[in-house]
Amino acid sequence: MEHLATVVSLRPATEDERPALENLVELYCYDWSELSHLDVREDGRFAALELAPYWRDDWRHPFVLVVEEKFAGFALILERSTLTGTSGVFDMAEFFVMRRYRRQGVGRAAAFSAFDQFRGPWEVRQRQENPAATGFWRSVIGEYTDGRYLETPVATTEWIGVVQTFSTRAMPQI
Ligand SMILES: CC(C)(COP(=O)(O)OP(=O)(O)OC[C@H]1O[C@@H](n2cnc3c(N)ncnc32)[C@H](O)[C@@H]1OP(=O)(O)O)[C@@H](O)C(=O)NCCC(=O)NCCS
């Protein structure tokens, strides 16, 4: 399949792009509905994430993934650990590549760009019901860090899964 990595850009979403991002989140929820048995509300939409805080709080970073000037996904990045609340730790809160762009290196290029743009300690979490995501992150983080990452099981009252932890601070940008 054609490799699209060279034409992928991951850039901050403007506040004007919030409605577009909300629509992309809706598609992301639709994908998740298969794994987590989510239903739509009476208006036919999922109870989507509240995105307004992403333009209010300086520790939240909304990004759109663009391929050849078209939206191809998004990344929601936090500068605070979701597991411990520690600030200064980057957390990949949500990450999505639209189906038509998958398995062409788009997610990999976007993840590398995120790690390049936010230098420091990272935590990337996956729920156990999404083993494909774990396969993806192991591959991408393994390559980015040259295998220098830890993977730890996590079980909280809200979710069960794994977290990969690593630091991009000392790594050369790829
Ligand atoms: C997971 C996801 C981001 C992958 O994006 P992508 O653009 O298809 O990934 P890439 O093409 O860059 O894949 C890079 C490598 O990751 C691994 N990988 C990708 N998708 C995978 C899958 N479904 N299962 C197992 N490994 C996978 C492969 O090693 C792949 O390399 P290869 O294609 O040469 O074998 C995408 O499928 C997606 O958005 N899924 C729905 C949302 C989601 O699960 N987000 C993550 C939440 S933690």
The pLDDT tens digits of the residues spanning 126-143 come to 999 999 999 999 999 999
Count of helices and strands (H, E) across the chain: 4, 7
Q: Whose CA is nearest to atom 17 of ligand 1?
A: 136
Q: Which of 83, 34, 87 is nearest to 58 (CA)?
A: 87
Cβ atoms 79, 88 nearer than 8 A? yes
Q: Which domains does the chain have, with CATH numbers?
A: 5-167 (3.40.630.30)
Query: Among the listed ranges 2-6, 51-55, 61-65, 67-71, which one has the minimum average pLDDT value?
Result: 2-6
In short, whether 130's Cβ falls inside 6 Å of ligand 1 is yes
Place of tokens 């987590």: 36
In short, whether 106's Cβ falls inside 6 Å of ligand 1 is yes
State yes or no: pLDDT of 156 exceeds 70: yes
In short, whether 62's Cβ falls inside 6 Å of ligand 1 is no
